[in-house]
Structure 1
Amino acid sequence: MGTALLLFGTMAVFLIIGVPIAFALGASVWATIVFSPDFTVTTGIIAQRIFGGLESTSIMAIPFFILAGNLMTKGGISRRLVNFANSIVGGVRGGMALALVLACAFFAALSGSAPATVIAIGSMLYPEMVKMGYPKDRTAGLLVVSGGLGPIIPPSIIMVVYGTITGASISDMFTSGMFIGVIIMLVLMIVVLVLAHKEQWPKAEKRPTLKEFGDTFLRAIPAILLPVIILGGIYSGLLTPTESAAVAVVWALIAGMFIYREITVKDLVPIFIDSAKGAAMILFIIATSTAFSWIFAYSGISGELVHAIVGMHLSKTVFCIVVAIILLIFGTFLEGIATCVLMVPILWPIASSLGIDAIHFGMIVAISNVIGTMTPPVAVNIFSAASVTKLKMGQIAKGQIPFFIGYVLVFFAVVLIPAISTLFLG
C-alpha cells in the first residue's frame, strides 16, 4: 500500500503543480525506486524501460501518420475534401453543416487526430458558414464534436497506442472504429437536420449540379485514394499499419507536390519540424509510461488490484460502465494519449480477467478519450475551435451540447452492447 501511495501520490503532486505528463510519470517512478523500501533495483532500470517501451514497429506508425496528416493539410487535400463533401449534401437546409460533418469524416480517414481535424476543416468552412448566416456557437460546437471523428475513423493514433500496449489487433481496432465512426457521423447528421429545421438554418439557393459534383469528385480523387491506400493495404493483408502509414506519407507528398502543387521543397522543412515535435511529445509519453507500467506490475500493485476487483464479483457490463466513467473523468484533465498510456496498463489486466473482449475494451478507451477532448478544462478540441472561430470557450461549449449528447449516447451504446464493437470482426 505504501508503494502505491508513493507512486500515485508523487505523480499527482507533479501533475497538480503543472509538470508535463511525461516528466511526471518518469519522476514518480524515480521517486518510488529511491524512497520505497520495497525496491532493490537501481534507477538505471528507468532508462532501460523507457527505451524498451519504444522498441515496437507498431509505434513507428504514429510519427508517420502525424507527418501524413500535416502534409495533407498543407498540400490542399483537405480543401478538395470539403468541396466534395459540399457537393454531396450542400443543397438542403443546413447543408453546409452536413458538409462539415462529412468533411470531418473524410479528413478523419486521413489524419487520425481530433485537433488536426478541427483546425483543418474549421479554418475553411467556419468563416463561410458564418457569412451564410449559420449561428456561430452552433457551428463552432458542431466543429468540436465532428472533429471527434478523427481518432475513431481509422487510421487512429490512439488505437495504435492501445494496440501496442495490450497486443490487440490494430487492424481489428480499425475495422471496429470505421463502423462506429459511421454511426457517430449519421447521428450527428440527424441532429443537424433537426436543429436546421427547428432554428431555421440557411439553405443553399441551388443544389449542386451533376457537373459540379463530377468536377469536385475528380479533383478529390487523389485525396480519396489516400484512405483507400491506407485501409486497403491493411485489410488486404498486404501492409501492416506501420507500412501503410509510411505509404500514406509518400502518397501525401506526391499529391501535395506534384498533383495539387501546393507544397514546395521550401515548405517541407517546417512540415517535418512540426511533425517531429508532435510525434516526440506522444512518443515521450509512451516511453515514460512504459516505465510507470513496469513498476506498477513489478511492485505487485496491479496484481492486488486485479484480485480486489475480481473479488467484488462485478459483471462485465458493470465493470465497463465503471471504466467508462473513470476514463471520462480522467479525460477532462488529461490529454487522450496520456490517459490511454496511464490507465490501460492498470485496467486492461482486470478487463482481461473478466473475459472482456480486447477490441470492445479498446473502443471504450478510444471513444472516452475523444469525449475528453470536448470536455473542459483540457478540451483540446474546444481550444482548437476557439483558435479558428475566435469565440470564447463558454460559447463553444454551450453550442456543442446537442451534438455532444448524441456523441455520448453512441458511446454508452458501445459500452453496453459489445456486439457493436465486434460486429464485423472475423
Structure 2
Amino acid sequence: MSRLPFLFIITGIVGFVMYHAFSLLSLTGWLGDELRGPEGWFHAHLFVLGWATMLAMGAVYQLIHVILQTNIYSAVLGYCHYFLFTVGATGMLIGFIRTDVIWIAGSATLALSGILLFGLNMGITLYRASIWNPVTISAACACLYLVLTGLSGMLMGLNFAFGDWNGLHQRLFGAHIWMGTLGWFGMLITGFSYKMLPMFYLSHDFSIRLQKMVLVLWNAAVITGVIAFLTGIQGGLLWFALLLLTGALICYVYHLEQIQEKRHKSNPGPGIRWTVYVSRALLVYSMALLIYSAQDVELLLDSRVVLLTGWVYLGGWVSLTILGYASKIVPFLWWTHKYGKLAGRPGTPLMAGMLSEKRINHGILAMVAASLLLVSGILINLAEVMMVGGTLLSMISIVYISNIALVFRR
C-alpha cells in the first residue's frame, strides 16, 4: 500500500479542520461579506484547495489503482506533485492573509506546477491502461478541468498584475469557478460513484447506459457555462447550462437507484447512504433554481443566488459526498496498510470495527441540519441565522472529521 494517498488524505483532513477553525474564529461572518476580497479568497481556497481537492487527489491516487488494476505511472511524480501543491496552496493562503500579490503569484505558480504534474501522471496512467468507460473517461475529464482551472487562475493573476486585457478578468473568473466546481468536482464524484457505489452495495448486472448520458450532459453543461462566461453572453447560455446540468442530475440520481435495485448488500454503511441522499437533494435544488430563474435568466447572476447555490453545491453536495466516502475509504486504506497481512490471525481487529457507523450517521445528520440552518439564513438574508448555522456546522464538522482521523490510531 503506497503512502502517497495517505499524505493527501491526512493533509486534507488538516485543511478541513483549519477551514472550520477559521470559520469559527470569524463566526462565519465572512459569508456575509464580499467574497471577492482577501478574506473571501482565503476561506474559499482553503476549502477548495486545502480540503476538498487535497483529499480528492489522495482518493484518485488510490482509486485509480482499483479501477485500472495497475499502478500509477510514477510515484515520484506523485510525491513531487504533493510537495509543490501543498507548499503552493499554503503560500497562497498566507498571501491572501498578507494581501501580498507577489507572494500569491509565486505560490500559485508552485500550486499550478503540482496540478500539471498530477494531470500528466494521471493522463499517462490512463493512456497506458487504455481502459475507456464512463468511469475512466469521467476521471480523465475531471483531471483536464482541474488543469484548465489552474491555468485560468494563473491567467487571472497575470491580468490582475498587468491589466492588459480589459474586461477579461471577470470573464476568466466565472470560467475558473465553473470549471473548478462543476468540471473537476462534478466529473470526479459522478465518475467514481459508478465504481464505489456498486462496490459497497455489492451490485451487479445493472445497465451503464445512463452513465454515458450523464457523461455527455455534464460535460455539455460545463462547456456551455465556460463559453457563456468567456464570451460574456451569460444569461441565456447559463440557463441552458443549468438545464443540461439538471438533465445530467436526473440521469445520475436515477442511475443510483438502478445500482441500489441490483444490490446484494442491504446496508453499505451510513456514509454511502448519505451520498445518495445529498445527490437527490442537489437535484431538487437544481430543478427549483431552473424554474425560479426561468422568469428572468439574469437572476442566476444575483449575488445572493450565487452565494446560496455555491454553498448548496460545494458546502452541501461536494463536501458531504467526500465526507461520506471518506468514512469508508479511510478505514479501508488504514486497515489494509496496517493489518492486511495479518488478516485472520488472533487479535487482528476487524475492518468493520475501525469506525463507528452510528457516529458517522449521527455526525452527517447533524451536519445536514446545521447546513440547512445556514442555507436558510442565506435565503432569508439574516446574518444571525447564518452565524448560528455556520458555527454549529463548523463545530460538528470538526468532531466528525476527528472521528475519522482517530482511525489512524487503531
The two structures have a TM-score, normalised by structure 2, of: 0.25
Higher relative contact order (CA 8 A, sep 6+): 1
More helix by share: 2
